[in-house]
Chains A and B, each alone.
Chain A
Amino acid sequence: MGKTKAFFKSIYKNVFVRRALRSLLSLLGLSLLIFILARVLPGDPIKTALGPDIPEEVVERYREMLNLNKPLYLQYFYWLMDVFQLKLGRSLVTIRDVSADITDFFPATLELLLASAVFRIIVAFPLGVLSGRKPGATMDNAIRVLAYVGICIPTFGWAIILQLVFAYWLNWLPAIGRISEEFMGIPKVTGLMTIDSLISGNVPAFIDVLKHLLIPTVALSIGGAVQEARILRAGMIENISRDYVLNMKSHGIPERIIYFKYVLKPSIIAVVPTMGLDVASTVGNAFLVESICNWPGMSRYGMMAMLRKDLNAIVGVVLVIGIVYIVINTITDIILYAIDPRIRLKERGES
């Protein structure tokens, strides 16, 4: 018990405290950049949002409300003040606070993101381990082909193919949406429908949600997953010829213990950072897949914001993506910290 507590304490000290300031600064920089970029784009945002026939005094009122007639640095300052109250400014399109909009749309994207992370782990690890065991064998070659196909087809391409095959032809899975109509009534707790349906104890609804999740999740992560499998395979093959493996062999330790224990762990450590980055980048890729699968996530909102020059919404969405990156990177660091003693003990200064 004491050991676990000490571990979390050291994670807190070494990962969170170090990261907090750096992350805050990156977010600040990101927001400043996007804030300025959104505002220097040509075209009047209010006229773009509300249409060209709007009377001049209405436009003026909106300008007043959004502080658009103030100098840029003041605009940013006001926006920052809003952020400290956990608001992201008013959207020109929905006329609501952007933070409220994002709270509505983000859970669906988050759910997709989490499902894609789980899918990657389920697919990448076994494939990598299997193909590394006997390089050049049939299994390895099959996985190699799969990897090339996986990488060559972009995420939206996968979405269309999967919809065609599994929804249209085979009719096994729903092509679009997040949940079937008959289950719409499940109470909203977390916004993640898989969890909400489980909380309400509605198993058929849970299965329905999973079915809806499958196509967008696979489309989003299959390419990355097979690529990660290849990285893991390369790591396993590299590590298998190391001296420590020879040492273990010279002691007559069974091959499966050497492979699945002594070779696997260092190889996994090597693939974790790539996986973290890949999972984080799915937020960006999710836009297209969400559109194709009619997934009610942040994408439609973000797309609309960009097309209509909805200033605050653009900044808000980009900021959320930035936060997702930072959170996932932090999680990656925690995982590495937990499984790689070289990182853990060096940071504690014990080596």
Chain B
Amino acid sequence: MNLLEVRNLRVNYRSYWYTYHVLNDVSLQVSQGDKVGLIGESGSGKTTLLKSILQILPPQGRIVSGEVLWKGTDLLKVSKDYVTNVRRKEVGMIFQDPLGALNPVFKVKEQFLDILRHSHSDHDKSDHLSLAEELLRSVMLPDTARVLESYPFQLSGGMRQRVIIAMALASARDLLLADEPTTNLDVTIQDQILRLIGELVVKRGLSMILVSHALGMVAKMTHRVYVMYAGSIVEEAPTLKLFSEPLHPYTSMLIESAPRLASTRLGEGIKGNPPDYRYPPSGCRFHPRCPYATGICKEVRPPNVEVSKHRYVACHMYSEGAGGG
């Protein structure tokens, strides 16, 4: 059984005037011990997907349809308490912005203890402090007393992100959701933090969904990668396969556009802009930017085709009988 299985998830955001159709039939699986990458441009719905799993979308966000099966139970159908318990004890999430994710006017200790009080409610109150210290040491913050007595703004960006990771570990006993954990950090620390996350996940036997723009790190840290474009999963493949021979036109363009250290050439980027979620393109959402688009792409949404073992791609070029390209 899969640890997590998201099926046909649709999520909308509503503003006063418009409805933004963001997640468009997203499906994804994570089995025990799986390390899964999730890549795609900014604004393609990766964060929305992670937030939907824990149901922590902002008030404007609404899950329209689909299932989020956690250990076989649909979290969208069970009681609030059940979901709360999953948030407290089973799934942890690392946020993008390490300054924003900590409350500026409370000490780290205060926030950490509140988290542990709920994630480790079976422990004695007196254990929580030593537990916090232990978690901080595990993220390489040895000066635990200083960190706990600090306010977030007194810590460096890297330290804050380590604190967030330590907090996430408190709740993540099965699955860690890492939402671009290094985007807002100095380049020099990015690798350190990603490596730390990789080590911790292995050491603690966690499964992980890693959202990141650092494709190199995704390649190193994950077994399988989902590629997301405009709220749809366009390709799923074992990591090495995906990077060596991408199938979907978007995937190849995404990999092409990533800057490489070894090359003096800048990535070209992908022409055009991500779509307007108020009026998403019909058929394949990528067709306005796709150099291979044909008539069918505008009209019919491409099915998810299993091209080879564990390789799925949602593109008419690979659909039977469509013979596009």
Report if B292 contacts A (CB, 8 A): no
Q: How many A residues face the partner with a CB closer than 8 A? A: 26
Binary contact readout A212-248 vs B (1 if CB under 8 angstroms, 0 otherwise): 0000000000000000000000000000111110111
Q: Which of A108-116, A140-148, A251-259, A302-310 contacts B (4 or more CB under 8 A)?
A: A251-259
Q: Return the chain B residue nearest A262 by Cβ.
A: B103
Given A251-B115, A251-B170, A252-B119, CB of A340 within 8 Å of CB of B95: no
Binary contact readout B70-93 vs A (1 if CB under 8 angstroms, 0 otherwise): 000000000000001111110111
Report if B137 contacts A (CB, 8 A): no
Given A243-B95, A250-B54, CB of A269 within 8 Å of CB of B105: yes
Contacts of B91 in A (CB 8 A): 250
Question: Measured between alpha carbons, how far is A341 from B110 in the docked complex, in Å?
Answer: 14
Residues of A294-351 at the interface with B, using a CB-CB cut-off of 8 Å, are: 339-342, 345, 350-351
Contacts of A342 in B (CB 8 A): 104-105, 151, 153
Contacts of B95 in A (CB 8 A): 243, 246-247, 250
The answer to whether A246 touches B104 (Cβ under 8 A) is: no
Contacts of A252 in B (CB 8 A): 84-89, 118-119, 171
Give the shortest distance, in Å, between A56 (CB) and chain B (any CB).
69
The residue among B95, B101, B103 with the most chain A CB atoms within 10 A of its own CB is B103
Which of A257, A341, A350, A351 interacts with B105 by CB under 8 Å? A341
Question: Measured between alpha carbons, how far is A242 from B106 in the docked complex, in Å?
Answer: 15
The residue among A250, A262, A265, A341 with the most chain B CB atoms within 10 A of its own CB is A250
Which of B92, B101, B151, B153 interacts with A246 by CB under 8 Å? B101
Report if B164 contacts A (CB, 8 A): yes
The answer to whether A251 touches B104 (Cβ under 8 A) is: no
The answer to whether A262 touches B154 (Cβ under 8 A) is: no
Q: Return the chain B residue nearest A249 by Cβ.
A: B56
The answer to whether A251 touches B88 (Cβ under 8 A) is: yes
Give the shortest distance, in Å, between B41 (CB) and chain A (any CB).
21
Give the shortest distance, in Å, between B4 (CB) and chain A (any CB).
15
Report if B233 contacts A (CB, 8 A): no
The answer to whether A243 touches B154 (Cβ under 8 A) is: no
Question: Measured between alpha carbons, how far is A342 from B105 in the docked complex, in Å?
Answer: 7
Report if B100 contacts A (CB, 8 A): yes
Contacts of B86 in A (CB 8 A): 252
Question: Measured between alpha carbons, how far is A249 from B56 in the docked complex, in Å?
Answer: 7
Contacts of A247 in B (CB 8 A): 93, 95, 101-102, 164, 167
The answer to whether B105 touches A266 (Cβ under 8 A) is: yes
Give the shortest distance, in Å, between B273 (CB) and chain A (any CB).
25
The answer to whether B97 touches A243 (Cβ under 8 A) is: yes
Q: Return the chain B residue nearest A241 by Cβ.
A: B58
Q: Return the chain A residue nearest B152 by Cβ.
A: A244
Given A246-B56, A247-B102, CB of A257 within 8 Å of CB of B114: yes
Question: Measured between alpha carbons, how far is A350 from B170 in the docked complex, in Å?
Answer: 29
Binary contact readout A60-104 vs B (1 if CB under 8 angstroms, 0 otherwise): 000000000000000000000000000000000000000000000
Question: Measured between alpha carbons, how far is A246 from B57 in the docked complex, in Å?
Answer: 8
Contacts of B164 in A (CB 8 A): 247
Give the shortest distance, in Å, between B81 (CB) and chain A (any CB).
10
Question: Measured between alpha carbons, how far is A233 from B315 in the docked complex, in Å?
Answer: 48
Which of A249, A262, A269 interacts with B87 by CB under 8 Å? A249
Report if B51 contacts A (CB, 8 A): yes
Contacts of A242 in B (CB 8 A): 100
Give the shortest distance, in Å, between A134 (CB) and chain B (any CB).
10
The answer to whether A246 touches B105 (Cβ under 8 A) is: no
Q: Return the chain A residue nearest B86 by Cβ.
A: A252
The answer to whether B154 touches A351 (Cβ under 8 A) is: yes
Residues of B23-54 at the interface with A, using a CB-CB cut-off of 8 Å, are: 51, 54
Question: Measured between alpha carbons, how far is A244 from B101 in the docked complex, in Å?
Answer: 4
Given A252-B84, A345-B151, CB of A243 within 8 Å of CB of B118: no
Contacts of A244 in B (CB 8 A): 100-104
Report if B323 contacts A (CB, 8 A): no
Q: Return the chain B residue nearest A135 by Cβ.
A: B59
Contacts of B154 in A (CB 8 A): 345, 350-351
Which of A254, A339, A341 interacts with B151 by CB under 8 Å? A341
Residues of B99-147 at the interface with A, using a CB-CB cut-off of 8 Å, are: 100-107, 111, 114-115, 118-119
Q: Return the chain B residue nearest A245 by Cβ.
A: B103
Given A252-B84, A253-B114, CB of A340 within 8 Å of CB of B101: no
Question: Measured between alpha carbons, how far is A327 from B56 in the docked complex, in Å?
Answer: 45
Give the shortest distance, in Å, between B153 (CB) and chain A (any CB).
6
Question: Measured between alpha carbons, how far is A133 from B88 in the docked complex, in Å?
Answer: 23
Give the shortest distance, in Å, between B86 (CB) and chain A (any CB).
8
Q: Return the chain A residue nearest B115 by Cβ.
A: A251
The residue among A242, A246, A350 with the most chain B CB atoms within 10 A of its own CB is A246
Which of B58, B59, B107, B118 interacts with A253 by CB under 8 Å? B118
Contacts of B96 in A (CB 8 A): 243
Given A262-B106, A341-B105, A345-B154, CB of A250 within 8 Å of CB of B87: yes
**Sample of 16 further A-B pairs with CB below 8 A, known A248-B103, A249-B54, A253-B118:** A246-B95, A247-B164, A248-B114, A248-B115, A249-B87, A250-B87, A250-B93, A251-B92, A251-B118, A251-B119, A254-B118, A266-B105, A340-B105, A341-B107, A345-B151, A345-B153
23 A-B contact pairs sorted by A residue (CB < 8 Å): A241-B58, A243-B96, A243-B101, A244-B102, A244-B104, A248-B103, A248-B111, A249-B56, A250-B54, A250-B92, A251-B92, A251-B115, A251-B118, A251-B167, A252-B84, A252-B119, A262-B111, A266-B103, A342-B105, A345-B151, A345-B153, A351-B153, A351-B154
B-contacting residues of A (Cβ < 8 Å)?
A: 240-244, 246-254, 257, 262, 265-266, 269, 339-342, 345, 350-351
Q: Which 7 A-B pairs have the closest CB atoms?
A: A252-B88, A252-B87, A243-B100, A250-B93, A244-B103, A252-B84, A247-B101
